[in-house]
Chain A
């Protein structure tokens, strides 16, 4: 059963992203939104860990939350797909369940 995992907290602030990547089943999708988009950016303390996680997960990030924080789609880690709200909806319908890591 395919699950979409969502993370809305910065990895610098909470360990939600790390817990998600540790406990989610390989093959799952992970969507980063709100302050969670910080985890999708290149050259942060967490970039290597997230890059490594892409061996097991499809990772997505919500574009509007990137722009709101003055960050740049071009600085998202290669391989992470930027989606808009419609893409968010598509992801929720394409997966059997949605699990949010608060």
Chain B
């Protein structure tokens, strides 16, 4: 700790479970928001069934559970602007980027222009992204 500034590490949260069937998706989101409050360098990865967490049009009225999918669209306001979705996971589920919510952030260095924070990436790129991290947390 120098000049009152904390250490910034690269944190990566890997989400591999569908929402609502287990508590992992919601718990991950809570932990991500906590880390964001500590101004860390955060990346989110959605792979395997985790890609279902980001689908648009989730409607939980019928199952009597809280719909937390809107929270993902607020991640940009917490300065989380690196959300990676594995392309191969989408493909083997018959999904595409069009089935997912749009995630945006406002770039303070570019007159608050709205920019995409969701990136569909191939397996090879994802390997590199994960390898660059200081801390990887699995959900």
A sample of 21 inter-chain contacts (CB < 8 A) reads A8-B21, A12-B48, A12-B92, A12-B93, A13-B17, A34-B20, A35-B18, A41-B93, A44-B92, A45-B92, A47-B94, A65-B62, A67-B58, A67-B59, A67-B60, A68-B20, A69-B55, A70-B59, A70-B69, A72-B57, A75-B94
Residue numbers in B under 8 Å from A43 (CB-CB): 93-94
Q: Say yes or no: is B115 at the interface (Cβ < 8 Å to chain A).
A: no
Q: Is the CB of A67 within 8 A of B62?
A: yes
- How far is B117's CA from A58's CA once the two chains are assembled, in angstroms? 43
Q: Is the CB of A10 within 8 A of B21?
A: yes
Q: Say yes or no: is A9 at the interface (Cβ < 8 Å to chain B).
A: yes
Q: Among residues 23 to 74 in chain B, which have CB atoms less than 8 Å away from a CB atom of chain A?
A: 48-49, 52, 55-63, 65, 67, 69
Query: A38: shortest Cβ distance to chain B, in Å?
Result: 7
Main secondary structure of the interface of B (DSSP, over half): loop
Q: Is the CB of A70 within 8 A of B55?
A: yes
Between A and B, how many residue pairs show CB distances below 8 Å? 76
| Chain A, Cβ-Cβ closest to B99 | A70
The 9 closest A-B pairs by CB, nearest first: A43-B94, A64-B62, A70-B55, A35-B21, A70-B58, A67-B59, A45-B92, A68-B60, A34-B21
Q: How many residues of B contact A (CB 8 A)?
A: 25
Binding site for A on B (CB under 8 A): 17-22, 48-49, 52, 55-63, 65, 67, 69, 92-94, 99
Residue numbers in A under 8 Å from B69 (CB-CB): 70
Q: Say yes or no: is A71 at the interface (Cβ < 8 Å to chain B).
A: yes
| Chain A, Cβ-Cβ closest to B52 | A69
Residue numbers in A under 8 Å from B49 (CB-CB): 10, 12-13, 35, 38
Q: Which of B52, B56, B58 contacts A38 (CB 8 A)?
A: B52
Q: Is the CB of B93 within 8 A of A69?
A: no
Q: Is the CB of A10 within 8 A of B18?
A: yes
Would A9 and B21 be within 8 Å (CB), given that A38-B49, A64-B63, A67-B62 are in contact? Answer: yes
- How far is B48's CA from A63's CA once the two chains are assembled, in angstroms? 22
Residue numbers in B under 8 Å from A35 (CB-CB): 18, 20-22, 49
